[in-house]
Structure 1
Amino acid sequence: MSAVLSPSPSVSTSHAVQAELNYLAPGVTRPVSYTFEPPEGTPWTTGELAPETVAIHDARPLAALGELSLDRSGFAKLAHRSALTDFSDDAAIRSIYYPESVALLRAATGAEKVVVFDHTLRDSANGSRTTKTLREPVRRVHNDQTFVSGPRRVRDHLSPEEAAERLKHRFAIINLGRPLDTVEQLPLAMCDARSIAPEDLVPSDLVYPDKVGEIYSFLHNPAHRWYWFPRLRSDEPLLLKIYDSQEDGTARLTAHSAFEHPDTPSDAPPRRSIELRALVFWPAGEDASA
Protein backbone atom coordinates (compact mmCIF):
# COMPACT_ATOMS: atom_id res chain seq x y z
CA MET A 1 0.00 0.00 0.00
CA SER A 2 1.20 3.54 -0.65
CA ALA A 3 1.73 6.12 2.02
CA VAL A 4 -1.33 8.12 0.89
CA LEU A 5 -3.84 6.37 -1.33
CA SER A 6 -5.81 9.46 -2.38
CA PRO A 7 -6.26 13.09 -1.37
CA SER A 8 -7.13 13.68 2.26
CA PRO A 9 -10.65 14.78 3.14
CA SER A 10 -10.84 18.06 4.98
CA VAL A 11 -11.52 17.69 8.70
CA SER A 12 -12.64 20.21 11.27
CA THR A 13 -10.82 20.25 14.60
CA SER A 14 -14.02 21.56 16.20
CA HIS A 15 -15.47 18.07 15.82
CA ALA A 16 -12.54 16.22 17.38
CA VAL A 17 -11.57 14.98 20.81
CA GLN A 18 -8.07 14.50 22.15
CA ALA A 19 -7.64 10.95 23.40
CA GLU A 20 -4.90 8.42 24.02
CA LEU A 21 -4.26 5.46 21.72
CA ASN A 22 -1.83 2.64 22.46
CA TYR A 23 0.65 2.29 19.61
CA LEU A 24 3.57 -0.13 19.55
CA ALA A 25 6.85 1.33 20.77
CA PRO A 26 9.47 1.49 17.99
CA GLY A 27 12.42 -0.87 17.93
CA VAL A 28 10.87 -3.75 19.85
CA THR A 29 11.15 -7.39 18.83
CA ARG A 30 8.27 -9.04 16.99
CA PRO A 31 5.20 -8.84 19.30
CA VAL A 32 3.38 -12.00 20.34
CA SER A 33 -0.19 -12.25 21.71
CA TYR A 34 -2.04 -15.32 22.97
CA THR A 35 -5.73 -16.05 22.37
CA PHE A 36 -5.75 -18.49 25.29
CA GLU A 37 -4.02 -18.62 28.67
CA PRO A 38 -0.31 -18.97 27.86
CA PRO A 39 2.10 -21.36 29.56
CA GLU A 40 3.14 -20.37 33.09
CA GLY A 41 5.69 -17.60 33.04
CA THR A 42 4.76 -16.50 29.50
CA PRO A 43 3.08 -13.08 29.17
CA TRP A 44 -0.27 -12.76 27.39
CA THR A 45 1.20 -10.08 25.13
CA THR A 46 4.70 -8.87 24.38
CA GLY A 47 5.75 -5.64 22.74
CA GLU A 48 6.05 -2.41 24.70
CA LEU A 49 3.22 0.06 24.14
CA ALA A 50 3.77 3.74 23.42
CA PRO A 51 0.59 5.73 24.23
CA GLU A 52 0.04 8.79 22.05
CA THR A 53 -2.55 11.53 22.42
CA VAL A 54 -4.19 12.09 19.05
CA ALA A 55 -7.15 13.98 17.58
CA ILE A 56 -10.08 11.64 16.91
CA HIS A 57 -12.63 13.27 14.60
CA ASP A 58 -16.38 12.88 14.51
CA ALA A 59 -16.93 10.72 11.42
CA ARG A 60 -20.62 11.47 10.99
CA PRO A 61 -20.33 14.73 8.99
CA LEU A 62 -17.77 13.34 6.53
CA ALA A 63 -19.63 10.04 6.19
CA ALA A 64 -22.78 11.97 5.31
CA LEU A 65 -20.84 13.74 2.54
CA GLY A 66 -19.54 10.44 1.15
CA GLU A 67 -15.94 11.20 2.11
CA LEU A 68 -15.55 7.96 4.09
CA SER A 69 -16.18 4.56 2.54
CA LEU A 70 -14.90 0.99 2.72
CA ASP A 71 -12.75 1.33 -0.39
CA ARG A 72 -11.56 4.89 0.30
CA SER A 73 -10.97 5.24 4.03
CA GLY A 74 -11.18 1.52 4.88
CA PHE A 75 -14.35 1.75 6.97
CA ALA A 76 -18.00 2.59 6.52
CA LYS A 77 -21.21 2.88 8.54
CA LEU A 78 -24.37 1.15 7.38
CA ALA A 79 -28.02 1.51 8.34
CA HIS A 80 -29.41 -1.92 9.25
CA ARG A 81 -31.49 -3.35 12.07
CA SER A 82 -30.84 -6.99 12.89
CA ALA A 83 -33.66 -9.47 13.19
CA LEU A 84 -31.81 -11.03 16.12
CA THR A 85 -32.44 -9.50 19.54
CA ASP A 86 -30.83 -12.10 21.84
CA PHE A 87 -27.11 -12.31 21.18
CA SER A 88 -26.52 -14.57 24.17
CA ASP A 89 -27.65 -17.57 22.11
CA ASP A 90 -24.73 -18.84 20.03
CA ALA A 91 -26.96 -21.11 17.95
CA ALA A 92 -29.20 -18.17 17.06
CA ILE A 93 -26.18 -16.07 16.09
CA ARG A 94 -25.10 -18.76 13.66
CA SER A 95 -28.54 -19.60 12.28
CA ILE A 96 -29.99 -16.07 12.09
CA TYR A 97 -27.23 -13.47 12.32
CA TYR A 98 -24.71 -15.20 10.04
CA PRO A 99 -27.06 -15.49 7.01
CA GLU A 100 -28.39 -11.99 7.64
CA SER A 101 -24.82 -10.64 7.70
CA VAL A 102 -23.88 -12.50 4.52
CA ALA A 103 -26.79 -10.81 2.72
CA LEU A 104 -25.82 -7.42 4.20
CA LEU A 105 -22.18 -7.76 3.11
CA ARG A 106 -23.13 -8.85 -0.40
CA ALA A 107 -25.46 -5.89 -0.77
CA ALA A 108 -22.89 -3.44 0.62
CA THR A 109 -19.95 -4.64 -1.49
CA GLY A 110 -21.39 -6.22 -4.62
CA ALA A 111 -19.56 -9.43 -3.76
CA GLU A 112 -20.42 -12.74 -5.40
CA LYS A 113 -19.70 -14.87 -2.34
CA VAL A 114 -19.31 -14.21 1.39
CA VAL A 115 -17.95 -16.74 3.89
CA VAL A 116 -18.29 -15.92 7.59
CA PHE A 117 -15.49 -17.62 9.51
CA ASP A 118 -15.95 -16.45 13.11
CA HIS A 119 -17.43 -13.91 15.50
CA THR A 120 -16.55 -12.33 18.85
CA LEU A 121 -18.83 -10.91 21.53
CA ARG A 122 -17.34 -8.06 23.58
CA ASP A 123 -18.37 -6.55 26.90
CA SER A 124 -16.27 -3.86 28.57
CA ALA A 125 -17.60 -4.80 32.03
CA ASN A 126 -17.76 -8.59 31.92
CA GLY A 127 -15.49 -9.52 29.04
CA SER A 128 -12.01 -10.91 29.56
CA ARG A 129 -9.20 -12.22 27.42
CA THR A 130 -9.42 -15.38 29.54
CA THR A 131 -13.02 -16.00 28.40
CA LYS A 132 -13.29 -17.30 24.87
CA THR A 133 -17.01 -16.57 24.53
CA LEU A 134 -16.92 -12.98 25.86
CA ARG A 135 -13.95 -10.72 25.26
CA GLU A 136 -13.05 -7.23 26.41
CA PRO A 137 -12.54 -4.41 23.87
CA VAL A 138 -8.99 -4.25 22.48
CA ARG A 139 -7.20 -1.08 23.54
CA ARG A 140 -4.18 -1.19 21.26
CA VAL A 141 -3.85 -0.06 17.66
CA HIS A 142 -3.99 -3.09 15.38
CA ASN A 143 -5.40 -4.74 12.27
CA ASP A 144 -6.64 -8.33 12.39
CA GLN A 145 -4.72 -9.69 9.36
CA THR A 146 -1.56 -8.98 7.38
CA PHE A 147 -0.71 -9.19 3.70
CA VAL A 148 0.68 -12.66 4.47
CA SER A 149 -2.11 -14.03 6.67
CA GLY A 150 -4.97 -12.72 4.53
CA PRO A 151 -4.52 -15.30 1.73
CA ARG A 152 -4.05 -18.02 4.36
CA ARG A 153 -7.62 -17.44 5.50
CA VAL A 154 -8.88 -18.38 2.03
CA ARG A 155 -6.98 -21.68 2.18
CA ASP A 156 -8.24 -22.29 5.73
CA HIS A 157 -11.91 -21.96 4.86
CA LEU A 158 -12.30 -23.13 1.25
CA SER A 159 -11.48 -26.40 -0.46
CA PRO A 160 -8.01 -26.51 -2.05
CA GLU A 161 -9.52 -26.36 -5.53
CA GLU A 162 -11.81 -23.40 -4.84
CA ALA A 163 -9.13 -21.56 -2.85
CA ALA A 164 -6.66 -21.85 -5.72
CA GLU A 165 -9.23 -20.34 -8.10
CA ARG A 166 -10.45 -17.61 -5.76
CA LEU A 167 -6.90 -16.49 -4.99
CA LYS A 168 -6.48 -15.59 -8.68
CA HIS A 169 -9.07 -12.84 -8.31
CA ARG A 170 -9.95 -10.02 -5.95
CA PHE A 171 -11.03 -10.91 -2.43
CA ALA A 172 -11.16 -9.13 0.92
CA ILE A 173 -11.59 -9.78 4.61
CA ILE A 174 -14.14 -7.50 6.23
CA ASN A 175 -15.19 -7.15 9.86
CA LEU A 176 -18.83 -6.35 10.51
CA GLY A 177 -19.06 -4.72 13.94
CA ARG A 178 -22.41 -4.01 15.59
CA PRO A 179 -23.11 -2.41 18.98
CA LEU A 180 -25.71 -4.29 21.02
CA ASP A 181 -26.59 -1.03 22.83
CA THR A 182 -25.81 2.60 22.10
CA VAL A 183 -22.06 3.01 22.66
CA GLU A 184 -21.12 5.39 25.46
CA GLN A 185 -18.02 3.67 26.88
CA LEU A 186 -14.86 2.70 24.96
CA PRO A 187 -15.96 3.63 21.44
CA LEU A 188 -14.02 2.37 18.43
CA ALA A 189 -11.46 4.63 16.74
CA MET A 190 -10.66 3.92 13.08
CA CYS A 191 -7.71 5.22 11.07
CA ASP A 192 -8.22 6.49 7.53
CA ALA A 193 -6.38 4.04 5.25
CA ARG A 194 -5.18 6.96 3.12
CA SER A 195 -3.06 8.21 6.05
CA ILE A 196 -1.27 4.90 6.74
CA ALA A 197 2.27 4.35 5.42
CA PRO A 198 3.84 0.90 4.82
CA GLU A 199 6.50 1.55 7.46
CA ASP A 200 3.77 1.96 10.12
CA LEU A 201 2.88 -1.76 9.92
CA VAL A 202 4.56 -4.25 12.26
CA PRO A 203 3.75 -7.97 11.70
CA SER A 204 2.88 -9.60 15.01
CA ASP A 205 2.15 -13.20 16.01
CA LEU A 206 -1.30 -14.19 17.25
CA VAL A 207 -1.07 -17.59 18.92
CA TYR A 208 -4.07 -19.95 18.81
CA PRO A 209 -4.19 -23.39 20.44
CA ASP A 210 -3.66 -25.05 17.04
CA LYS A 211 -1.78 -22.48 14.93
CA VAL A 212 -0.01 -19.12 14.84
CA GLY A 213 -1.74 -16.33 12.96
CA GLU A 214 -0.40 -12.92 12.04
CA ILE A 215 -1.80 -9.44 12.65
CA TYR A 216 -0.43 -5.92 12.29
CA SER A 217 0.57 -3.75 15.21
CA PHE A 218 1.18 -0.08 14.36
CA LEU A 219 3.88 2.48 15.02
CA HIS A 220 2.73 6.02 15.62
CA ASN A 221 2.68 8.32 12.62
CA PRO A 222 1.55 11.96 13.07
CA ALA A 223 -0.05 11.75 9.61
CA HIS A 224 -2.64 9.22 10.87
CA ARG A 225 -6.21 10.56 10.71
CA TRP A 226 -8.51 9.02 13.30
CA TYR A 227 -12.32 8.93 13.41
CA TRP A 228 -15.15 7.66 15.58
CA PHE A 229 -18.94 7.67 15.34
CA PRO A 230 -20.40 9.29 18.49
CA ARG A 231 -23.13 7.29 20.23
CA LEU A 232 -23.13 4.52 17.67
CA ARG A 233 -26.41 2.59 17.79
CA SER A 234 -27.28 -1.06 17.27
CA ASP A 235 -28.85 -0.23 13.89
CA GLU A 236 -25.56 1.36 12.72
CA PRO A 237 -23.17 -1.52 12.02
CA LEU A 238 -19.63 -0.72 10.90
CA LEU A 239 -17.63 -2.33 8.12
CA LEU A 240 -13.84 -2.46 8.62
CA LYS A 241 -11.47 -3.39 5.80
CA ILE A 242 -9.05 -5.92 7.27
CA TYR A 243 -7.44 -7.13 4.04
CA ASP A 244 -7.89 -6.48 0.33
CA SER A 245 -5.93 -8.20 -2.42
CA GLN A 246 -6.46 -5.30 -4.82
CA GLU A 247 -3.44 -3.00 -5.27
CA ASP A 248 -4.81 -0.13 -7.37
CA GLY A 249 -5.15 2.53 -4.66
CA THR A 250 -8.14 0.87 -3.00
CA ALA A 251 -7.94 0.86 0.80
CA ARG A 252 -6.32 -2.45 1.74
CA LEU A 253 -6.71 -2.27 5.54
CA THR A 254 -7.40 0.06 8.43
CA ALA A 255 -6.01 0.36 11.94
CA HIS A 256 -8.50 0.43 14.81
CA SER A 257 -8.64 0.48 18.60
CA ALA A 258 -11.07 1.06 21.45
CA PHE A 259 -10.33 4.31 23.30
CA GLU A 260 -11.28 6.16 26.47
CA HIS A 261 -13.38 9.15 25.43
CA PRO A 262 -12.51 12.01 27.81
CA ASP A 263 -16.17 13.04 28.21
CA THR A 264 -17.53 9.58 29.07
CA PRO A 265 -19.55 9.74 32.31
CA SER A 266 -18.22 7.60 35.13
CA ASP A 267 -21.53 5.74 35.28
CA ALA A 268 -21.78 5.11 31.53
CA PRO A 269 -23.08 1.64 30.67
CA PRO A 270 -20.52 -0.88 29.39
CA ARG A 271 -19.88 -1.29 25.72
CA ARG A 272 -21.47 -4.46 24.36
CA SER A 273 -20.88 -5.46 20.75
CA ILE A 274 -20.45 -8.31 18.29
CA GLU A 275 -17.78 -8.55 15.60
CA LEU A 276 -18.25 -10.89 12.68
CA ARG A 277 -15.38 -11.67 10.29
CA ALA A 278 -15.92 -12.68 6.70
CA LEU A 279 -14.13 -13.49 3.47
CA VAL A 280 -15.62 -11.55 0.57
CA PHE A 281 -15.11 -12.66 -3.03
CA TRP A 282 -15.81 -10.87 -6.30
CA PRO A 283 -16.17 -12.51 -9.71
CA ALA A 284 -13.22 -12.45 -12.10
CA GLY A 285 -12.91 -9.07 -13.76
CA GLU A 286 -15.45 -7.34 -11.52
CA ASP A 287 -14.76 -4.59 -9.01
CA ALA A 288 -16.54 -3.83 -5.75
CA SER A 289 -19.25 -1.24 -5.37
CA ALA A 290 -18.31 -0.06 -1.89
Structure 2
Amino acid sequence: MRAKLQQADGIAYRSSTSSIWRYMWKYKALYLITLPGIVYYLIFKYIPLGASFIAFKDYNIFKGVWGSPWVGLEHFERMFRHADFLRIFKNTVIIGGLDILFAFPAPIILALLLNEVRIVMYKRIVQTVIYMPHFLSWVIISGIAVGILSPSTGVVNQFLGWLGIEPIYFLGENSYIRTILITSGIWKEVGWGTIIYLAALAGINPDLYEAAEIDGANRWKQTLAITVPSILPTIVILFLLKIGDFLDFGFERVWVFLNPLTYENGEILDTYIYRAGLLQQEYSFTTAVGMFKSIIGLTLLVLANKLSRKATGESLF
Protein backbone atom coordinates (compact mmCIF):
# COMPACT_ATOMS: atom_id res chain seq x y z
CA MET A 1 0.00 0.00 0.00
CA ARG A 2 2.79 2.37 0.97
CA ALA A 3 4.64 1.58 -2.26
CA LYS A 4 1.54 2.42 -4.30
CA LEU A 5 1.14 5.74 -2.47
CA GLN A 6 4.79 6.62 -3.07
CA GLN A 7 4.43 5.71 -6.74
CA ALA A 8 1.30 7.89 -7.00
CA ASP A 9 3.12 10.79 -5.31
CA GLY A 10 6.01 10.42 -7.74
CA ILE A 11 3.69 10.45 -10.73
CA ALA A 12 1.85 13.52 -9.37
CA TYR A 13 5.16 15.31 -8.73
CA ARG A 14 6.43 14.60 -12.26
CA SER A 15 3.10 15.71 -13.69
CA SER A 16 3.21 18.94 -11.69
CA THR A 17 6.81 19.62 -12.76
CA SER A 18 5.94 18.92 -16.38
CA SER A 19 2.97 21.31 -16.17
CA ILE A 20 5.20 24.06 -14.78
CA TRP A 21 7.72 23.65 -17.58
CA ARG A 22 4.97 23.65 -20.21
CA TYR A 23 3.52 26.81 -18.68
CA MET A 24 6.94 28.52 -18.66
CA TRP A 25 7.57 27.47 -22.26
CA LYS A 26 4.16 28.81 -23.29
CA TYR A 27 4.98 32.23 -21.83
CA LYS A 28 8.72 32.10 -22.56
CA ALA A 29 8.68 35.61 -24.04
CA LEU A 30 7.47 37.11 -20.77
CA TYR A 31 10.05 35.20 -18.75
CA LEU A 32 12.75 36.32 -21.19
CA ILE A 33 11.72 39.94 -20.67
CA THR A 34 12.03 39.57 -16.89
CA LEU A 35 15.51 38.02 -17.16
CA PRO A 36 17.48 41.35 -17.23
CA GLY A 37 15.63 42.52 -14.12
CA ILE A 38 16.36 39.25 -12.31
CA VAL A 39 20.05 39.44 -13.27
CA TYR A 40 20.20 43.08 -12.09
CA TYR A 41 18.78 42.28 -8.66
CA LEU A 42 21.00 39.22 -8.28
CA ILE A 43 24.19 41.15 -9.08
CA PHE A 44 23.50 44.46 -7.34
CA LYS A 45 21.08 43.50 -4.55
CA TYR A 46 21.42 39.88 -3.43
CA ILE A 47 25.06 38.95 -4.06
CA PRO A 48 26.39 42.01 -2.13
CA LEU A 49 24.39 40.81 0.91
CA GLY A 50 26.93 38.02 1.25
CA ALA A 51 29.60 40.50 2.34
CA SER A 52 27.42 42.39 4.81
CA PHE A 53 29.21 40.72 7.72
CA ILE A 54 32.20 43.02 7.19
CA ALA A 55 30.18 45.42 9.37
CA PHE A 56 31.37 43.21 12.23
CA LYS A 57 34.98 43.18 11.01
CA ASP A 58 37.80 45.69 10.65
CA TYR A 59 37.94 45.18 6.89
CA ASN A 60 41.27 45.60 5.17
CA ILE A 61 41.43 45.40 1.38
CA PHE A 62 44.88 43.75 1.54
CA LYS A 63 43.83 41.07 4.05
CA GLY A 64 40.55 40.40 2.30
CA VAL A 65 37.12 39.63 3.70
CA TRP A 66 38.14 36.44 5.49
CA GLY A 67 41.53 37.67 6.69
CA SER A 68 40.24 40.84 8.37
CA PRO A 69 39.81 40.58 12.16
CA TRP A 70 36.41 40.48 13.89
CA VAL A 71 35.52 43.51 16.00
CA GLY A 72 31.90 42.71 16.92
CA LEU A 73 29.64 45.74 17.38
CA GLU A 74 32.47 48.26 17.47
CA HIS A 75 31.40 50.02 14.26
CA PHE A 76 27.79 50.28 15.40
CA GLU A 77 28.91 51.81 18.70
CA ARG A 78 31.13 54.23 16.80
CA MET A 79 28.20 55.11 14.54
CA PHE A 80 26.03 56.21 17.48
CA ARG A 81 28.93 58.07 19.07
CA HIS A 82 29.76 59.92 15.85
CA ALA A 83 29.30 63.67 16.20
CA ASP A 84 27.48 64.10 12.88
CA PHE A 85 25.47 60.87 12.79
CA LEU A 86 22.45 62.20 14.70
CA ARG A 87 22.28 65.27 12.43
CA ILE A 88 22.57 63.16 9.27
CA PHE A 89 19.99 60.67 10.49
CA LYS A 90 17.64 63.52 11.40
CA ASN A 91 18.07 65.02 7.92
CA THR A 92 17.26 61.66 6.34
CA VAL A 93 14.11 61.23 8.42
CA ILE A 94 12.90 64.79 7.77
CA ILE A 95 13.54 64.67 4.03
CA GLY A 96 11.98 61.20 3.77
CA GLY A 97 8.95 62.38 5.74
CA LEU A 98 8.51 65.45 3.54
CA ASP A 99 8.80 63.25 0.46
CA ILE A 100 5.97 61.01 1.70
CA LEU A 101 3.88 63.99 2.78
CA PHE A 102 4.11 65.94 -0.48
CA ALA A 103 5.52 63.68 -3.23
CA PHE A 104 3.44 60.57 -2.58
CA PRO A 105 -0.02 62.21 -2.96
CA ALA A 106 1.06 64.26 -6.01
CA PRO A 107 0.59 61.53 -8.67
CA ILE A 108 -2.71 60.48 -7.08
CA ILE A 109 -4.08 64.02 -7.31
CA LEU A 110 -2.75 64.46 -10.84
CA ALA A 111 -4.27 61.15 -11.97
CA LEU A 112 -7.66 62.13 -10.52
CA LEU A 113 -7.49 65.47 -12.34
CA LEU A 114 -6.50 63.88 -15.66
CA ASN A 115 -9.27 61.32 -15.23
CA GLU A 116 -11.79 64.18 -15.36
CA VAL A 117 -10.43 65.57 -18.65
CA ARG A 118 -12.77 64.72 -21.53
CA ILE A 119 -10.71 66.17 -24.41
CA VAL A 120 -8.57 63.17 -25.40
CA MET A 121 -5.94 65.11 -27.36
CA TYR A 122 -5.38 67.59 -24.53
CA LYS A 123 -5.14 64.73 -22.03
CA ARG A 124 -2.50 62.93 -24.11
CA ILE A 125 -0.44 66.10 -24.55
CA VAL A 126 -0.46 66.75 -20.79
CA GLN A 127 0.49 63.14 -20.07
CA THR A 128 3.41 63.29 -22.50
CA VAL A 129 4.71 66.56 -21.07
CA ILE A 130 4.61 65.40 -17.44
CA TYR A 131 6.18 62.00 -18.28
CA MET A 132 9.23 63.46 -20.01
CA PRO A 133 11.24 64.59 -16.93
CA HIS A 134 11.36 60.99 -15.67
CA PHE A 135 13.77 60.11 -18.48
CA LEU A 136 16.21 62.88 -17.54
CA SER A 137 19.15 62.12 -15.27
CA TRP A 138 19.57 63.93 -11.97
CA VAL A 139 22.62 65.68 -13.40
CA ILE A 140 20.43 67.29 -16.05
CA ILE A 141 17.75 68.07 -13.45
CA SER A 142 20.32 69.82 -11.28
CA GLY A 143 21.56 71.81 -14.28
CA ILE A 144 18.02 72.96 -15.01
CA ALA A 145 17.56 73.88 -11.34
CA VAL A 146 20.81 75.89 -11.36
CA GLY A 147 19.65 77.77 -14.43
CA ILE A 148 16.22 78.52 -12.92
CA LEU A 149 17.47 79.43 -9.42
CA SER A 150 20.63 81.31 -10.40
CA PRO A 151 20.95 84.54 -8.36
CA SER A 152 22.01 86.50 -11.46
CA THR A 153 20.20 85.02 -14.47
CA GLY A 154 17.61 82.68 -12.94
CA VAL A 155 13.94 83.16 -13.76
CA VAL A 156 12.93 83.01 -10.10
CA ASN A 157 15.32 85.75 -9.01
CA GLN A 158 14.37 87.92 -11.97
CA PHE A 159 10.75 87.67 -10.88
CA LEU A 160 11.76 88.53 -7.30
CA GLY A 161 13.67 91.50 -8.70
CA TRP A 162 10.50 92.81 -10.34
CA LEU A 163 8.88 92.66 -6.89
CA GLY A 164 11.75 94.63 -5.37
CA ILE A 165 13.26 91.64 -3.52
CA GLU A 166 17.01 91.09 -3.42
CA PRO A 167 18.36 88.01 -5.30
CA ILE A 168 18.56 84.82 -3.22
CA TYR A 169 21.23 82.15 -3.65
CA PHE A 170 18.79 79.24 -3.23
CA LEU A 171 21.32 76.45 -3.80
CA GLY A 172 23.66 77.92 -1.21
CA GLU A 173 21.11 78.33 1.58
CA ASN A 174 20.50 75.61 4.16
CA SER A 175 16.93 76.75 4.64
CA TYR A 176 16.03 76.04 0.98
CA ILE A 177 17.87 72.79 0.21
CA ARG A 178 15.12 70.45 1.49
CA THR A 179 12.45 72.32 -0.45
CA ILE A 180 14.56 72.10 -3.62
CA LEU A 181 15.10 68.35 -3.16
CA ILE A 182 11.40 67.63 -2.67
CA THR A 183 10.08 69.89 -5.44
CA SER A 184 12.64 68.69 -7.99
CA GLY A 185 11.72 65.09 -7.15
CA ILE A 186 8.02 65.80 -7.59
CA TRP A 187 8.62 67.49 -10.94
CA LYS A 188 10.75 64.59 -12.18
CA GLU A 189 8.66 61.62 -11.00
CA VAL A 190 5.04 62.80 -10.68
CA GLY A 191 4.21 61.96 -14.29
CA TRP A 192 5.70 58.48 -14.07
CA GLY A 193 3.79 57.71 -10.89
CA THR A 194 0.58 58.89 -12.52
CA ILE A 195 0.75 56.00 -15.02
CA ILE A 196 0.01 53.43 -12.32
CA TYR A 197 -2.99 55.31 -10.95
CA LEU A 198 -4.40 56.01 -14.42
CA ALA A 199 -4.20 52.27 -15.12
CA ALA A 200 -6.09 51.59 -11.88
CA LEU A 201 -8.69 54.22 -12.79
CA ALA A 202 -9.19 52.62 -16.20
CA GLY A 203 -10.27 49.40 -14.49
CA ILE A 204 -13.23 50.97 -12.65
CA ASN A 205 -16.62 49.77 -13.88
CA PRO A 206 -18.40 52.68 -15.69
CA ASP A 207 -21.76 51.34 -14.49
CA LEU A 208 -20.87 52.55 -11.00
CA TYR A 209 -20.66 56.14 -12.20
CA GLU A 210 -23.91 55.83 -14.13
CA ALA A 211 -25.70 54.52 -11.06
CA ALA A 212 -24.26 57.30 -8.91
CA GLU A 213 -25.28 59.91 -11.47
CA ILE A 214 -28.83 58.57 -11.48
CA ASP A 215 -28.84 58.90 -7.68
CA GLY A 216 -27.94 62.59 -8.08
CA ALA A 217 -24.22 62.44 -7.14
CA ASN A 218 -22.05 65.13 -8.73
CA ARG A 219 -18.48 64.54 -9.93
CA TRP A 220 -16.96 65.39 -6.56
CA LYS A 221 -19.20 62.93 -4.70
CA GLN A 222 -18.54 60.29 -7.34
CA THR A 223 -14.81 60.77 -6.84
CA LEU A 224 -15.09 60.35 -3.07
CA ALA A 225 -17.58 57.46 -3.16
CA ILE A 226 -16.36 55.48 -6.19
CA THR A 227 -13.02 56.59 -7.62
CA VAL A 228 -10.91 56.84 -4.46
CA PRO A 229 -12.22 53.60 -2.85
CA SER A 230 -11.66 51.75 -6.14
CA ILE A 231 -7.97 52.71 -6.36
CA LEU A 232 -7.38 52.41 -2.60
CA PRO A 233 -5.72 48.95 -2.88
CA THR A 234 -3.21 50.40 -5.37
CA ILE A 235 -2.57 53.40 -3.12
CA VAL A 236 -2.00 51.16 -0.10
CA ILE A 237 0.46 48.85 -1.89
CA LEU A 238 2.49 51.76 -3.27
CA PHE A 239 2.45 53.46 0.12
CA LEU A 240 3.84 50.33 1.77
CA LEU A 241 6.62 50.19 -0.83
CA LYS A 242 7.32 53.86 -0.15
CA ILE A 243 7.54 53.18 3.60
CA GLY A 244 10.07 50.42 2.93
CA ASP A 245 12.27 52.97 1.11
CA PHE A 246 11.71 55.64 3.76
CA LEU A 247 15.43 56.09 4.52
CA ASP A 248 16.53 55.26 0.96
CA PHE A 249 15.92 58.73 -0.46
CA GLY A 250 18.48 58.33 -3.22
CA PHE A 251 22.16 59.20 -3.50
CA GLU A 252 22.17 60.91 -6.91
CA ARG A 253 19.06 62.93 -6.12
CA VAL A 254 20.82 64.63 -3.21
CA TRP A 255 24.46 64.56 -4.27
CA VAL A 256 23.98 66.73 -7.37
CA PHE A 257 22.45 69.53 -5.23
CA LEU A 258 24.78 69.19 -2.25
CA ASN A 259 27.66 71.56 -1.52
CA PRO A 260 29.57 72.60 1.62
CA LEU A 261 27.05 75.40 2.24
CA THR A 262 24.12 72.95 2.45
CA TYR A 263 25.65 69.99 4.29
CA GLU A 264 23.95 71.02 7.52
CA ASN A 265 20.39 70.37 6.29
CA GLY A 266 20.99 68.45 3.08
CA GLU A 267 23.33 65.57 3.84
CA ILE A 268 21.61 62.19 4.24
CA LEU A 269 22.80 58.67 5.06
CA ASP A 270 23.37 57.75 1.40
CA THR A 271 25.68 60.70 0.73
CA TYR A 272 27.47 60.16 4.04
CA ILE A 273 28.05 56.48 3.17
CA TYR A 274 29.59 57.59 -0.13
CA ARG A 275 31.88 60.16 1.47
CA ALA A 276 33.00 57.95 4.36
CA GLY A 277 32.98 54.62 2.54
CA LEU A 278 34.47 55.38 -0.85
CA LEU A 279 36.34 58.63 -0.36
CA GLN A 280 37.70 57.85 3.12
CA GLN A 281 37.76 54.05 2.58
CA GLU A 282 35.95 53.20 5.82
CA TYR A 283 34.22 50.18 4.36
CA SER A 284 33.26 48.36 7.55
CA PHE A 285 31.92 51.47 9.23
CA THR A 286 29.73 52.49 6.29
CA THR A 287 28.52 48.90 5.91
CA ALA A 288 27.31 49.14 9.51
CA VAL A 289 25.53 52.40 8.66
CA GLY A 290 23.91 50.79 5.62
CA MET A 291 22.85 47.78 7.66
CA PHE A 292 21.31 50.06 10.28
CA LYS A 293 19.37 51.86 7.54
CA SER A 294 18.14 48.56 6.08
CA ILE A 295 16.99 47.26 9.47
CA ILE A 296 15.00 50.46 10.10
CA GLY A 297 13.41 50.22 6.65
CA LEU A 298 12.49 46.55 7.13
CA THR A 299 11.00 47.25 10.57
CA LEU A 300 8.89 50.13 9.24
CA LEU A 301 7.69 47.99 6.33
CA VAL A 302 6.61 45.10 8.58
CA LEU A 303 4.80 47.41 11.01
CA ALA A 304 3.08 49.33 8.21
CA ASN A 305 2.10 46.07 6.53
CA LYS A 306 0.43 44.79 9.72
CA LEU A 307 -1.42 48.06 10.28
CA SER A 308 -2.56 48.10 6.67
CA ARG A 309 -3.85 44.53 6.86
CA LYS A 310 -5.90 45.36 9.95
CA ALA A 311 -7.16 48.73 8.68
CA THR A 312 -7.85 48.10 4.99
CA GLY A 313 -7.37 44.38 4.41
CA GLU A 314 -4.61 45.13 1.88
CA SER A 315 -0.98 44.13 2.43
CA LEU A 316 2.20 43.14 0.64
CA PHE A 317 2.52 39.80 2.44
TM-score (norm 2): 0.23
Q: Which structure is higher in helix share?
A: 2
More relative contact order, 1 or 2 (CA 8 Å, 6+ apart): 1
Q: Which structure is higher in strand share?
A: 1
TM-score (norm 1): 0.25
